[in-house]
Structure 1
Amino acid sequence: MQSSGSARSGVKIRLVEDRCALGVLGGDGYPVWLKEEIVRRGLVADGEQTISFCGLIAQDSEVFVFIPRGSALPVTIAEKDSLAALTTSCLELYGRRRPANTIPEESGLVEFEQDAQLALVRELLDDYRLNGLYATVSRQQTSNNGRTDWRRTIRMVAVLPDADGMPIYPELIGTRRCSTLDSIVTRIHGAVISKLDEMFGWWVTGEAGGRLASDLDADPDLLDRAEYCIAMLKHEMVLVYSDRHMRLIRNLLRYFRHHKLAGGSPVVIGLRDFHWVWEYMLAEITAWRKDVSRELPVPVYYAQNGERQPAPGKGMRPDLVLGVAARRHMAVVDAKYYQARDVSTAPGWHDLVKQFFYAKALQEAYPGWTVDNIFVFPGCGKLSYAAVESRDRSRRFDELFPPVRCVYIDPVQVMQHFIAGTLSTEITESFLMAGRRDA
């Protein structure tokens, strides 16, 4: 899939598939700035011929969501909106669970700094949905209204006797809480919410209409005065005491310090290499995960004097191992974010060798168990398994090099389970069943 789009409420959302040809963005209907931004950011591969990015790029009323390669193609506008929101939520959840300092450098993260822009957007919009605009709370003195302040009444009001000589107070002094929406902080909050709602309301609401604050009367010019807004927010921070107000002001400060969100340049949030998310999600949604780190052998170096020097940090690290003790059945799974349409786009010898050794090591550690070798790819494809055989095809070396089965999974299905926090028995069984197919 190259691209599909939908327009609503002034915001146009278009889908682009990760790893599609960069030339696609040179066609009609694409703004010139989009291709330029992708090249400028280095979100390309294969000699700048292919886009390598999963996430979103937004500017003004245009939002481009780059979905995982191999995703099932949406047909209706509602399905396109749903996939855009699902992909964005998936990246937000991954960024929240994997802070920037724990995401592998090889992933090429883009704007997944510690401030976590997507999490900031969601928190600000969710807060507005629950609590509305920031309100300044004050107490006003009342007369014969509100809660009576007896200390002030006794001090300020002259006592009159009733017919029985008992003291009465002709006026009761009280106080009343008043909320006002005319402060500068309220105006700043409204401007930020209006901007974020325009760009991201479709994501937070999960609806085709996609707006939380379409009727908000905001002053967009405030967003161009970041230093002034920061000064006003800092001043307000020392005057508030409620947890909600303090958290909101801190988030508004984060917004203005994130000049890319507040300014006019394109907002780019996502990963250059979705492989790391693909691997992480599959590990999160599969059942019967098995920790075999203590069972796998490790390399040991010996010095010339005979000193033994183990190197466990250089040992085997399979992506995912599944095991069902009742069946004495195990699968060692390598999540590959490859197209794997044919040999030219399939994993090479380096990846195959690792899988061969993982399977051999587990067969030694778990005698009597069936150990399957699996590559899992996004989308669909025709490859069934990889084996090693002689060049004249007269011999297969399955005992020495256990064949690696190929399983294809729709990324949309994986993302749905990941967001829902559910384990997929169906996907897990597809890995274990793959090894039962005749080679």
Structure 2
Amino acid sequence: MKTKPEVKFRVFEDRTAVNDLGSTAGSLLAILKAWDIGKIEDKETVHFCGLIGHPDLGTTAFIPRQSSTGNAEVDKEIAAYTMRALSRFGAEVSQREFESDGEAGNPNLLSVVKKLAEDFRQFGIFSERERIRTRNSGKIDWGRTLSRVVATPGSGGRPVFLDLRTSRSRSETNANLSQIQAAVMREILAMHGWWLSVGRGRDVELRSVPLPPSRRAKWEGQLSRILPTLYSARSLFLAEHLKYYLSHTRASSSGTFVFGLTDFHSVWEAMLRETLKRPPEDTGRNWTRELPKPTYNLANGSRPEARQQGMIPDIILEGRDHYTIIDAKYYAATSSATAPGWPDIAKQQFYELGMRSVVGTTPEIESIFVFPGRNSEGPLHSVAMRDSSGRKVASFPEIRCAYADVATVLIAYIKRTSDLAIGSPLSASDLDSDSDSDSDDAERPARL
């Protein structure tokens, strides 16, 4: 019996050097260039976090920097969590135009993929139930029976109807919507089944639905035409999400697809903001509004603010008598050469000076750069201002350097938990846990 060829699967880190991509470097770079993603024209490294699908190359996943373990099975697991984290991030910023701020990519498309998979897992192939007229089979339709059938006298003179008019319900799955859903789900499971939770037993149902008779390029138009005729919440959901998927996955001539994000720094910041444990006293103050802003004093006495926005710290944790200003930095941070430079350092120190003007001199204020790291470890300890003789200048705030384990943050973000402390290491039980507090992520990807 002819065996099905094994699907190729590779995992690289974001910011992998082009020379380290091996024999597939040329093909991967060509794909990223065609999709205008990855900053490959002026960089020696690939700036991309997501996945690339190619009919011959298979699937190539790019996971966040400093997250690879060197173990192929665990790295594929981390890749699955990366896709789920990107899908959550994409759902929460679905209205954002990434191209406008240099963050080219389509993480919102991954959220659509996940929603379509969850709908299929829960409800299966869409079917419209209709009632068809029958005879002597199903629910009796007394109106039709009395008007069309002559009764036969029975015992005691009671009428007996020997030919009943009936009706029964039937599920119709051959409609355009059902066929397109089935075709798209075959495509999604082939490309994304390794990180999605669809559940067993749906394969037979999927294969039972015939493919649409038209070409893929026409499916989006067909959905547009049937949309005005739909009324149920699920049919509208499917038509709209299938349309979005089809419009954003028009494969190139080589049949490639790209899902992901050029710059992961926005995701890193969002994940830390959502998962770090906040003190009980934290009131969620709007610090951007409270912190001082630069203004110009004009000759006419007015004081307009500077054109650029004021201080916008990434994260501030508020305790009873302690404040922590956190700047989420998606840097390698393996040396001073790969760490934040003067603008980021000065900005962070300025945040602390601004905080002092709001909370006074009594509370303790700590300023921290948080980098991605393996097992929450890294070489940088702190950054401080020193004079020409090497003595620390006390008037400038010191900034502590900390590392957050990437896999730990990914898992917490997916599970929607917020109990991570800076420096929390990943334990083996985190990767093996089947629990998931997010109802949208009730099932975890199959063990890889």
With normalisation by structure 1, the TM-score equals 0.84
Q: How large is the Cα RMSD of the aligned pairs? A: 3.1
Partners of 2:334 and 2:39 in 1: how far apart?
20
Does the aligned pair in 1 maintain the 2:404–2:424 contact within 8 Å?
Answer: no
Query: Shift of the alpha carbon at 1:206?
Result: 8.4
Does the aligned pair in 2 maintain the 1:187–1:218 contact within 8 Å?
Answer: no
1:12 aligns with 2:8: yes
Does the aligned pair in 2 maintain the 1:261–1:267 contact within 8 Å?
Answer: yes
What SS is found at the alignment partner of 1:51?
A: coil
What SS is found at the alignment partner of 2:421?
A: helix
Greater shift, 229-238 or 146-155, is seen at 229-238
Letter in 1 for 2:334: R
Query: Shift of the alpha carbon at 1:231?
Result: 5.1
Partners of 1:238 and 1:388 in 2: how far apart?
65
Partners of 2:209 and 2:139 in 1: how far apart?
37
Correspondences of 1:18-417 after superposition (within 5 Å): 18-25=14-21, 27-28=22-23, 30=24, 32-40=26-34, 41-44=36-39, 47-60=42-55, 62-73=58-69, 75=71, 77=73, 79-101=74-96, 105-112=100-107, 116-183=108-175, 185-205=177-197, 213=203, 216-217=206-207, 225-230=215-220, 232-234=222-224, 236-237=226-227, 240-260=230-250, 265-288=255-278, 290-291=284-285, 292-311=287-306, 314-325=309-320, 328-366=321-359, 367-379=361-373, 380-393=377-390, 395-398=391-394, 400-417=395-412
Query: Shift of the alpha carbon at 1:324?
Result: 1.0
Query: Shift of the alpha carbon at 1:274?
Result: 0.7
Partners of 1:171 and 1:318 in 2: how far apart?
79
Does the aligned pair in 1 maintain the 2:124–2:205 contact within 8 Å?
Answer: no
Letter in 2 for 1:137: R
What SS is found at the alignment partner of 2:365?
A: strand
Percent sequence identity over aligned pairs:
31
With normalisation by structure 2, the TM-score equals 0.82
Q: Unpaired segments of 5 or more residues in structure 1?
A: 1-7, 431-439
Relative distance call for 1:228 and 1:402 in structure 2 (3 A) is closer
What SS is found at the alignment partner of 1:63?
A: strand
Aligned residues: 411
Query: Shift of the alpha carbon at 1:246?
Result: 3.3
Letter in 2 for 1:368: T
Partners of 1:34 and 1:102 in 2: how far apart?
25
Relative distance call for 1:75 and 1:349 in structure 2 (3 A) is same
Partners of 2:252 and 2:212 in 1: how far apart?
10
Does the aligned pair in 2 maintain the 1:134–1:186 contact within 8 Å?
Answer: yes
Alpha-carbon displacement from aligned partner over 1:227-280 (angstroms, at most 9, x marks no partner):
543455455555554332332233333333334269853211221111111111
What SS is found at the alignment partner of 1:141?
A: strand
Q: As a proportion of its length, which structure holds more strand?
A: 1
Does the aligned pair in 2 maintain the 1:191–1:223 contact within 8 Å?
Answer: no
Greater shift, 342-351 or 307-316, is seen at 307-316
Partners of 2:154 and 2:219 in 1: how far apart?
57
Relative distance call for 1:197 and 1:13 in structure 2 (3 A) is same
Greater shift, 233-242 or 147-156, is seen at 233-242
Query: Shift of the alpha carbon at 1:214?
Result: 7.7
